[in-house]
């Protein structure tokens, strides 16, 4: 049962737990469960302001509030609300105003007329201030049982992945897109890379859609391209949010790719009608690395691919359109060209398949080492 439409906590004895939750980790979760089980219910207050440590990494107050609501969606005795600290003096000042707002939230979130409040805090400073300013009970929690902090997670999410609560993991997932024109080995590369790192991956939704609908590339119409974009976006989103995600995610297609193909196949009017939807979905995507494979391999006719642009000039033109789309969306700093190098030994890797795999793995490992100081195997 979801608690989204639960108006208020009805118990007499209410535990109150507050924090920034940037992100919420298992230590927070254990504290909230303790408060819920020791009392008649726990009120969780997500607090923050524009420019706080969560907002600086794209985890603004409203997003954190919604993730916390999601985390406790089935908890009847946990109610999540938020406190906007924009007009309140920054900690350690502002206690009087902050407490006034918090007490208003307690009144509006808890219905018992003779409620008893117990504050659950993890800092001795909070314990001291609340005891001096209220007549409520204050419990200082033992934070040594789960020695993890949100700061450590923000700096090295992969190293502390198992401590991140599920809704917040999507924000810290390292997402890697492999992009390129048709028949250049990107699907095989995505599979090999993902499996080598023990990561989940998604493949091109267009192939699945065409096989299920029994149509070819050149037969696609405007409504098909709408389904292709939304289908690819949802496949990627669901996999990123799945339990299989261990901090790395790979995909061989995204909405940018679908947009380029839509421009290629549709007339101007149909394409322009789809553009606002495509651009909205593109903005909602999060790519940390974009590996672009140039068309350096032979074009293979698999009965589904459109053979009208199987020649080198057409393939390189499509490659350049992908590059432009990346640039238009301000993602050039995420892009790496993975060309590889053909082996001089004609018997082994004559067109550089293994070389591109090695190059791509090195790019991923170097990125994780640089940004998180984590060594991938």
Show the DSSP H helices in the chain as ranges: 26-38, 61-71, 95-109, 124-133, 150-155, 166-172, 186-197, 205-213, 222-240, 255-265, 268-284, 312-328, 353-372
Contact 96, 105 (CB under 8 A): no
Alpha-carbon distance of 19 to 46, in angstroms, equals: 6
Q: How far is residue 121's CA from residue 118's CA, in Å, rounded to a whole number?
A: 10
CA distances in angstroms from 306 to 117, 295, 301, 352, listed in the order given: 67, 15, 8, 24
Contact of 40 with 12, CB cutoff 8 Å: yes
Q: Tell me the chain's radius of gyration from C-alpha atoms.
A: 25
Q: pLDDT tens across 50-106, in order?
A: 999 999 999 999 999 999 999 999 999 999 999 999 999 999 899 999 999 999 999
Q: Where are the domains of the chain?
A: 13-153, 173-372
CA angle 34, 38, 42 (to 5 degrees): 70
pLDDT given at position 301 = 65
**What is the CATH code for 173-372?**
3.40.50.300
Tell me the percentage of the chain whose pLDDT exceeds 90.
Answer: 84
- Under 8 Å CB-to-CB from 36, ≥6 apart: which residues? 15, 42, 75, 77, 78
| Distance separating alpha carbons of residues 278 and 233, to the nearest angstrom | 10
The list of the chain residues with pLDDT below 70 reads 1-7, 300-309
The answer to whether the 13-153 and 173-372 domains have the same CATH topology is: yes
- The pTM of the full predicted model, rounded to 2 decimals, is 0.91
pLDDT, position 184: 85
pLDDT value at position 4?
52
Half-sphere exposure of 146 (CA within 13 A, CB side): 18
CATH of the domain spanning 13-153: 3.40.50.620
Give Cβ neighbours of residue 373 (< 8 Å, ≥ 6 apart).
Answer: 156, 159
For residue 134, give the nearest of 99, 166, 109 by alpha carbon. 99
What is the reported pLDDT for 1?
Answer: 44
**Phi-psi category of residue 193: left, alpha or beta, with phi > 0 → left and psi -120 to 50 → alpha:** alpha
Looking at residue 143, what is its pLDDT?
A: 85
> Are 59 and 66 spatial neighbours (Cβ–Cβ below 8 Å)?
no
Give CA–CA dist 358/193, Å, rounded. Answer: 9
Q: How far apart are CA 263 and CA 272, in angstroms?
A: 9
Task: Classify residue 9 by its DSSP letter.
Answer: B
């Amino acid at each position: 049962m979801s608690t989204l439409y639960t108006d208020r906590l009805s118990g007499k004895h209410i535990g109150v737990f507050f924090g920034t939750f940037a992100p919420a980790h298992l230590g927070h979760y254990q504290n909230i469960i303790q408060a819920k089980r020791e009392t008649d219910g726990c009120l969780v207050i997500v607090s923050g302001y524009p420019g706080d440590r969560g907002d600086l990494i794209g985890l603004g107050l409203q997003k954190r509030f919604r993730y916390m609501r999601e985390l406790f969606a089935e908890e009847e005795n946990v109610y999540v609300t938020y406190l906007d600290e924009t007009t309140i003096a920054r900690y350690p000042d502002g206690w009087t105003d902050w407490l006034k707002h918090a007490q208003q939230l307690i009144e509006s979130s808890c219905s018992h007329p003779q409620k008893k409040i117990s504050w659950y805090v993890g800092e001795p400073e909070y314990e001291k201030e609340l005891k001096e300013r209220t007549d409520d009970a204050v419990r200082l929690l033992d934070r040594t049982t789960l020695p993890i902090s949100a700061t450590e997670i923000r700096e090295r999410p992969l190293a502390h992945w198992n401590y991140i609560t599920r809704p917040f993991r999507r924000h810290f997932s390292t997402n890697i897109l492999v992009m390129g024109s048709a028949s250049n080995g990107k699907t095989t590369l995505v599979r090999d890379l993902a499996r080598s790192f023990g990561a989940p991956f998604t493949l091109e939704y267009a192939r699945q859609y065409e096989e299920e609908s029994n149509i070819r590339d050149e037969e696609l119409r405007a409504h098909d391209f709408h389904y292709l974009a939304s289908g690819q976006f949802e496949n990627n989103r669901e996999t990123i949010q799945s339990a299989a995600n261990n901090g790395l995610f790979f995909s061989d297609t995204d909405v940018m790719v679908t947009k380029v193909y839509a421009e290629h196949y549709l007339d101007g009017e149909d394409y322009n009608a789809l553009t606002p939807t495509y651009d909205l979905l593109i903005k909602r995507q999060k790519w940390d690395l974009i590996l672009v494979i140039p068309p350096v391999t032979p074009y293979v006719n698999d009965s589904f691919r459109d053979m009208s642009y199987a020649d080198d000039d057409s393939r390189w033109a499509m490659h350049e359109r992908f590059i432009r789309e990346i640039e238009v969306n301000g993602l050039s700093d995420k892009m790496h060209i993975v060309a590889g190098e053909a082996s001089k030994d004609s018997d082994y890797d004559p067109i550089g398949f293994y070389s591109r795999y090695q190059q791509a793995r090195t790019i991923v490992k170097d990125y994780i080492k640089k940004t998180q100081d984590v060594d991938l195997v």
